[in-house]
Amino acid sequence: IYFQFDLYLNTIKKIGVDKVGPVLETMKYRRKGSPMATKDQVQSLLESDNYSYVKVDGYYFVKGANGYTLVRILEDLNTSLNLNIQIEYR
């Protein structure tokens, strides 16, 4: 079973884009020089064949990272925001 981007994004929406966006912008996770969530699109990512942006509530979320990375991001958000959610990845 692969961890899908839609499930990742739906989880972020349930937590709250306004809560997650600012935290995700400062995290170590980046693709083509872009944070995994940003208010301003990065040109190098826009020109990428492997990544794209999905806009939600004023933030651009990077689409194209593998499932392992998305799970790690959710785990780090869970810790930094004290969400107490259970994340399973197989």
The pLDDT of residue 1? 36
Cβ count within 10 A of residue 75: 13
pTM: 0.92
In tens, the pLDDT along 27-64 reads: 999 999 999 999 999 999 999 999 999 999 999 999 99
Q: How far apart are CA 82 and CA 26, in angstroms?
A: 17
Residues ≥6 apart with Cβ < 8 Å to 49: none
Q: Is the pLDDT of residue 14 over 50?
A: yes
Phi and psi angles of residue 82, each rounded to the nearest 5 degrees, phi first: 50, 55
